[in-house]
């Protein structure tokens, strides 16, 4: 039977063929009233034409979306129902009753054979890798299947194995901007940034592709080329204004360039386009904080935490916002939440130490400063704050030790503090 649902089109064609078969049996319309096969086909000609148009439209639509592959047997399921119903009715009608036992045996054998083939076929449908690898095994120059296998491998952090598949896809179809773009992703994953950018540029020569612009911008941003990155982010947004990641990326670059008002606008756009993005709300909060809008910053950080409760950076940022407002207990709660998620983050331990200083809790402040110094030993500010707290606690020898470490890392303790410490204990000579 001609299966025009091979590419996912509406199953009009199989139904038309099924109607012809039903005309032959069991309706027996063929020959009745002078009807011939040709007249019956002409009768159903509109159905065939509709199916042909649907097949063509669906083929090109799915080819553009990368959905046409060698294995499309799932599209035949519905269209085969008519055949199986016909066989189920026709066989008992033509087979003599004395052969019923042999019919049952034959049917069992056929079902067993179908079961074995089905079991084998199911093995190809375990995941994208198995199905598209099988497609590559039974076809040649199948760029869509190669891209799909490459995507699967890249998603498994197997970039080196993905690269040959993207290259094979380009050999099969040198005009595939998708293959160039994804090859660029694999190369970037491997640290081969220059090659990755060349592939993204090749994709752009084939089609104005916002994703390729975004990827180039991402790599340039990581290199510190903020002007180049901003240019590509802007081009991505020009092509696709609703590209939330490009809006957020441009905002981040503008923030690094000191253009806070422009950055705020793009962070806000990213939040509108992707309201479930915790990162977008957190970044918008950062901008508001830098502009002195503490209440707005707090609101954005809280939105980020509603979306992503285990977001350490948002907990830290919210703690900073609350600390600036004088809500020390709230700040301590957020810093502790951050530390529970990211215990090795020196900044949070330092900030918690400063907040505990504000509550006159010296023992706990010293504990947090020591942790901050453990995770970032060369930070002079941590050493100085720890030295001051040790001095207040009467631990003068330990305080001098921290003073020396602060000086080693180019820190400059306040002269008044050094004078007070010296009055309690002269600076050790060793």
- Tally of helices (H runs) and strands (E runs) in the chain: 23, 0
Q: How far is CA 91 from CA 14, 18, 25, 107, 421, in A?
A: 21, 17, 12, 11, 105
Tokens describing residue 295: 């209440």
Query: Tokens for 109?
Result: 């054998």
Burial state string for 48-66 with b = 16 or more CB within 10 A and e = fewer than 16: beebeebbeebbeebeeeb
pLDDT tens for the chain, residues 1 to 430: 333 333 344 455 556 666 776 776 667 777 777 778 788 778 878 877 877 777 677 666 555 544 445 445 555 666 667 667 767 777 776 666 667 777 778 878 988 998 888 788 777 777 888 888 888 888 888 999 999 999 999 999 999 999 999 999 999 999 999 999 999 999 999 999 999 999 999 999 999 999 999 999 999 999 999 999 999 999 999 999 999 889 989 999 999 999 999 999 998 898 888 888 898 889 889 988 888 888 999 999 999 999 999 999 999 999 999 999 999 999 999 999 999 999 999 999 999 999 999 999 999 999 999 999 999 999 999 999 999 999 999 999 999 999 999 999 999 999 999 999 999 999 998 6
The residue behind tokens 């034959």 is 106
Q: Of 346, 368, 345, 370, nearest to 358 (Cα)?
A: 368
Query: What residue ranges do the domains of the chain occupy?
Result: 12-94
CA–CA separation, 95 and 107 (whole Å): 13
Angle at 279 between CA 278 and CA 282, to 5 degrees: 85
DSSP conformation letters of 388-404: HHHHHTT-HHHHHHHHH
CA dist 401 and 404 (Å) reads: 5
Distance from chain centroid for Cα 297? 27
**Distance (Å, whole) CA 347 – CA 401:** 22
Q: 277 with 287: CB under 8 angstroms?
A: no
């Amino acid at each position: 039977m001609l299966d025009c649902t091979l590419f996912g089109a509406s199953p009009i064609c199989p139904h038309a063929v099924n109607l012809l078969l039903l005309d032959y049996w069991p309706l027996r319309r063929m020959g009745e009233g002078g009807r011939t096969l040709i007249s019956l086909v002409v009768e159903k000609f509109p159905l065939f034409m509709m199916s042909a148009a649907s097949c063509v439209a669906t083929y090109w639509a799915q080819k553009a979306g990368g959905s046409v592959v060698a294995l499309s047997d799932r599209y035949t399921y519905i269209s085969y129902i008519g055949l199986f119903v016909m066989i189920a009715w026709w066989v008992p009608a033509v087979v003599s009753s004395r052969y019923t036992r042999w019919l049952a045996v034959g049917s069992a054998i056929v079902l067993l054979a179908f079961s074995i083939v089905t079991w084998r076929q199911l093995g190809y449908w375990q995941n994208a890798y198995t199905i598209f690898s099988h497609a590559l095994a039974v076809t040649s120059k199948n760029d869509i299947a190669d891209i799909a296998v490459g995507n699967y491998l890249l998603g498994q952090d197997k970039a080196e194995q993905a690269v040959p598949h993207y290259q094979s896809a380009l050999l099969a179809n040198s005009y595939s901007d998708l293959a160039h773009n994804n090859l660029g992703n694999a190369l970037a994953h491997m640290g081969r940034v220059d090659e990755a950018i060349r592939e993204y540029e090749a994709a752009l020569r084939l089609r104005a592709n916002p994703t390729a612009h975004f990827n180039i911008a991402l790599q340039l941003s990581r290199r510190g080329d903020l002007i180049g990155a901003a240019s590509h982010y802007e081009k991505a947004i020009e092509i696709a204004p609703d590209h939330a990641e490009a809006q957020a990326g441009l905002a981040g670059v503008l923030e690094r360039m000191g253009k806070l008002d422009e950055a705020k606008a793009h962070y806000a756009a990213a939040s509108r386009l992707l309201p479930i993005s915790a990162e977008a709300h957190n970044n918008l909060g950062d901008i508001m904080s830098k502009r002195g809008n503490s209440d707005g910053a707090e609101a954005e950080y809280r939105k980020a935490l509603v979306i992503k409760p285990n977001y350490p950076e948002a907990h830290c940022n919210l703690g900073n916002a609350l600390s600036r407002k004088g809500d020390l207990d709230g700040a301590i709660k957020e810093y502790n939440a951050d530390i529970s998620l990211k215990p090795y983050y020196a900044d949070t331990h330092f900030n918690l130490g400063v907040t505990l200083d504000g509550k006159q809790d010296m023992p706990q402040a010293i504990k947090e400063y020591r942790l901050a110094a453990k995770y970032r030993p060369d930070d002079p500010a941590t050493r100085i704050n720890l030295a001051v707290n040790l001095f207040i606690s009467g631990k003068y020898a330990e305080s001098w030790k921290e003073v020396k470490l602060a000086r080693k890392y180019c820190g400059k303790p306040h002269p008044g503090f050094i004078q007070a410490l010296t009055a309690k204990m002269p600076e050790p000579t060793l």
